[in-house]
């Protein structure tokens, strides 16, 4: 499982963890989803065509971001699969 320090949320529900650095700008980011309410809420809202507001805490600040798309890329047989989010906006970035 990914490092819990990179956890992000929808409301109070954890969605998953970022595989790399915290996102600080719009674009595509890889993540590991949790099996639970948060990821289910994210996926359902995206299926409806909603833009989903999520957030993470970094250096004592709350950073919000908008998710517009989720992508699952299956790996080869026996290989790793990957999950990605497309972010449209990132606000309140805690520097560094």
Predicted model pTM? 0.87
- Per-domain residue ranges for the chain? 4-91
pLDDT at 81 over 70: yes
Q: List C-alpha distances in Å: 12 to 41, 79, 81, 90.
A: 11, 33, 27, 18
- The pair of three-digit structure tokens given for residue 16, joined into one six-digit string: 């998953």
- Cβ–Cβ under 8 Å, residues 92 and 62: yes
Averaged pLDDT for residues 77-87: 95
**pLDDT top residue among 2 and 5:** 5
Residue at token pair 């994210």 = 42
For 3-7, 13-17, 33-37, 56-60, which range has the lowest pLDDT when averaged over its residues?
3-7
Query: What three-state secondary structure class fits 46?
Result: helix
| Pairing status of strand 82-91 against strand 27-33 | antiparallel
Confidence of residue 82 (pLDDT cuts 50, 70, 90): very high
């Amino acid at each position: 499982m990914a490092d819990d320090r990179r956890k992000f949320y929808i409301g109070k529900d954890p969605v998953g963890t970022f595989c790399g650095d915290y996102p600080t700008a719009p674009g595509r980011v890889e993540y590991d989803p949790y099996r639970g309410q948060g990821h289910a809420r994210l996926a359902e809202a995206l299926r409806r065509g909603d833009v989903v507001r999520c957030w993470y805490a970094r250096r004592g600040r709350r950073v919000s971001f908008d998710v517009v798309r989720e992508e699952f890329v299956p790996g080869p047989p026996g290989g790793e699969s990957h999950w990605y989010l497309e972010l449209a906006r990132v606000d309140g970035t805690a520097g560094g």
